[in-house]
Structure 1
Amino acid sequence: MSTERKDQHVALAQKLRDESRPNGFDDIGFIHHSLAAIDVARVDLSTSVLGARWPLPFYINAMTGGSQRTARINAGLGRAARAAGVAIATGSQHIALRDASLEDSFRVVRREAPDAFVFANVGPTVSPEQARRAVQMLDADALQVHINPAQEIVMPEGDRQFSDWAQRIEAIAGAVPVPVLAKEVGFGLSRRSIEELARRGVRAADVSGAGGTNFIDIENHRRRRSEYGYLAGWGQSSAFCLLESLHLPPAVPLEILASGGVRHPLDVVRALALGARAVGVSGHFLHTLLDEGEEALIAELARWAEQLSSIMALMGCASLAELSKVDLLVTGRTAELARLRGIDLAALAHRQH
């Protein structure tokens, strides 16, 4: 892993940005009740994640670190997280675990956001000791373990051995002093994957579905012949993954978070109504920072909080608990896939009754 690759990922994420890609959230709708609206001041946006109370149900999700340029990005993201009062995750710390001179490109997040809920970030290939070092590097409140076989397959220098990942995740979860959240990187966690993670000691899962930053596309552009273009549509959307997670058995006590293709506050509301405790956003916040600057990102985070309160007030929901019980209208391709998986969409359309 090189600092050059870290910078390439950011550059390609900017170049290949496409917020019009289908993400499944447009297939999730609500019934408008004209007399249901409540006072905006009554809305409580707080949520509970891994034993901590968050004032807002969205956060700056894992992006980058490991070079001079990405250190500056992480510093800006950290300052924005502090100003807005949101949680934040770093990108993969593997490069700093191999080269201590790059640690500060990640440490800067904690330095700039000393009171924020911070996720450290590693993949399943690190040792338990390395996972502990990643947590210590950031004085992190929790550890994200990113799960990215689709990215690794297309990455020219990526991993090719995946059969022991579940056991490795279990070893990491048992070794670190903070809760572990397993996170896909944009291809979706299936119900089967979530159930397996629960058996391995993971406390939460970010389903991180398709529709946002596409790491198959990014890695394919790094290949000389770009021969994996046919895999560009791989994976499931977060909306579909959340529908599946609504039917997890009670014996699977994982907290569910969501990310992947989140474009605006309405997508956050949709994910929360589908059972997510919080919603991570990477691409939109990164592009705002790089295109418009740090102050613009801070203002955007504040606007998202304001608009979330307004949308929930319009729906008559004073809390996330109330939002999670509203009727859901699932249509389009997401409905087609859900029916194939045996999900009762009619029941979701009448769950308030």
Structure 2
Amino acid sequence: MTDELIAQRKDDHVRLAVEQQHDHSGRNQFDEVTFVHHALAGIDRPDVSLATTFAGISWQVPLYINAMTGGSVNTGVINRNLAIAARETGVPIASGSMSAYFKDPSCAGTFSVLREENPDGFVLANINATASVEKALRAVDLLQANALQIHINTVQETVMPEGDRSFASWVPQIEKIAAAVDVPVIVKEVGFGLSRETVLLLKDLGVRVADLGGRGGTDFARIENGRRRLGDYAYLEGWGLSTAACLLDAQDVGLPVLASGGVRNPLDVARALALGASGVGASGSFLRTVQDEGVEALVAQLTTWLDQLAAMMTMLGARTPADLTRCDLLISGGLRSFCADRGIETRHFAQRSARAAATDELTGTTR
């Protein structure tokens, strides 16, 4: 594929992703997760901290701008604006896939702008599972990255007209990269979800964190089908596991998980944290804002999300993001059916606060 075609594909992805955001129905399985309201659970706002720590990583906030783009002039401008917003709000940020940079080093600036505009922030480089160890090291070096994302996307590649059709090498290659780089490796799906079995395999491969990347947000099967002349893969739209389902499936796997995919608002962030995520990422909503309204609007959106998340934590009595896992939840609808079929007990989620309080009393913990 020529450099010009690669740049065109990156621009197509942005255009189609924004179109999806504009015509999104608005509902997903996060709506089947409900907090049990306890009217006297609230605490004082100054006692709430948004800081989160996992796998040796410390973030000021549990929200991050997840992988989007890079590789063309237009996407370089988008990355610049995203980086400015990340800098102004203290939110971590991930680059889009850096495959274009490996094929055409002249587009390096469309990625390195993430670090140039955000010199002290937490930046994640992003590569695919076919990248060599040498390319992984180059990606980390270009962005002076604090962590490395490896995205896995068999469904997208299958529908992509020029996509990969060979996936057997991905598992051993992920293991090689995880062993070779000196920053934490995070493996993420691009919107089709990671099952419990996959997360356990990633743990065995030496991966430090799994970004569950579930269904509910940008649908890359739909995007790639929109690039096909006949649009003949429409039946794969909606494939995969929702982010909420992935979080429930990954309970107690012994590997920190991040939640992304279908995160629409601060309530979804709180829901994901309550289901066990160490951090929560969004892409589509932030892309739409920065494209339609500009960088100042994105700074305002991120600031609002963080402020409202802290307000909900105050109301729920959660001093830290991790404390949200002590809150009582009701699981309903198709998500409850998924849990039944996967052998996941849901009743205990509705009784967590009492058990947590009993444990505190037993251990003499004061909160």
Whole-angstrom distance in 2 between the partners of 1:351 and 1:310: 21
Contact 1:19 1:261 in 2 (8 A): no
Scaled by the length of structure 1, the TM-score of the pair is 0.97
* Alignment match, 2:12: 8
Residue aligning to 2:200: 195
Give the match's secondary structure for 2:173.
helix
- For 1:23-42, what aligned pairs fall within 5 Å after superposition? 23-42=28-47
Cα offset, 1:6, TM superposition:
0.3
Could you say which residue in structure 1 is the equivalent of 2:322? 321
Q: Partner residue of 2:148?
A: 143
Partner of 1:181: 186
Structure 1 stretch displaced more, 316-325 or 297-306 = 316-325
Q: CA RMSD in A?
A: 1.0
The C-alpha deviation readout for 1:177-197, integer Å capped at 9, x for no partner, is 211000000000000000111
Distance across 1 between alignment mates of 2:116 and 2:352: 45
CA distance, structure 2, for counterparts of residue 302 and residue 65 of structure 1? 24
Q: Which amino acid aligns with 1:20?
A: S
Gaps of 5+ in 1: none
Aligned AA for 1:103? A
The Cα shift of 1:347 comes to 1.3
Runs of 4+ in 1 over 3 A off after TM superposition: none
Please tell me whether residue 223 in structure 1 is matched to residue 228 in structure 2: yes
Aligned pair partner of 1:46 in 51, 67, 72: 51
1:151-172 per-residue CA deviation (whole Å, 9 max, x = no partner) reads 0000000000011211110011
Q: Which residue of 1 aligns with 2:300?
A: 299
Give the C-alpha shift of residue 247 in structure 1: 3.7
Distance between the aligned counterparts of 2:120 and 2:159, measured in 1? 37
More displaced stretch, 32-41 vs 60-69: 32-41
Task: Tell me, yes or no, if the aligned pair for 2:278 and 2:322 is still in contact at 8 Å.
Answer: no
**What is the correspondence of 1:1-353 to structure 2 with a 5 Å cutoff?**
2-17=6-21, 18-248=23-253, 253-352=254-353, 353=355
Superposition TM-score, scaled by structure 2 size: 0.93
Q: Report the Cα distance in structure 1 between the residues aligned to 2:311 and 2:236, rounded to whole angstroms.
A: 39
SS in 2 for 1:329: strand
SS at match of 2:258: strand
Counterpart CA distance in 2 for 1:40 and 1:19 is 34
Distance in 2 between the 1:119 and 1:254 partners?
A: 19
Q: Alpha-carbon deviation of 1:50?
A: 3.5
- The alignment partner of 2:186 has SS state of strand
Deviation at 1:16, TM superposition (A): 2.2
What SS does structure 2 have at the residue aligned with 1:162? coil
Q: What is the CA distance between 1:21 and its match in structure 2?
A: 4.8
Q: Which amino acid aligns with 1:168?
A: Q
Aligned-partner SS, 1:350: helix
Asked if structure 1 preserves the Cα contact closer than 8 Å seen for 2:10 and 2:69, the reply is yes
Quote the Cα distance in structure 2 between the aligned partners of 1:161 and 1:320: 39
Q: Which residue of 1 is the match for residue 364 of structure 2?
A: none
Q: Distance in 1 between matches of 2:313 and 2:94?
A: 26
Distance in 2, Cα, partners of 1:12 & 1:22 = 19
Partner residue, 2:359: none
Q: Write the distance in 1 (CA, Å) between the matches of 2:92 and 2:27.
A: 26
Partner secondary structure for residue 270 of structure 2 = helix
In the TM superposition, residue 39 of structure 1 has moved relative to its aligned partner by 1.6
Q: Is the 8 A contact 1:66 1:106 kept in 2?
A: yes
| Contact 2:209 2:257 (8 Å CA) reproduced | yes
Counting aligned pairs with the same residue, the percent is 52
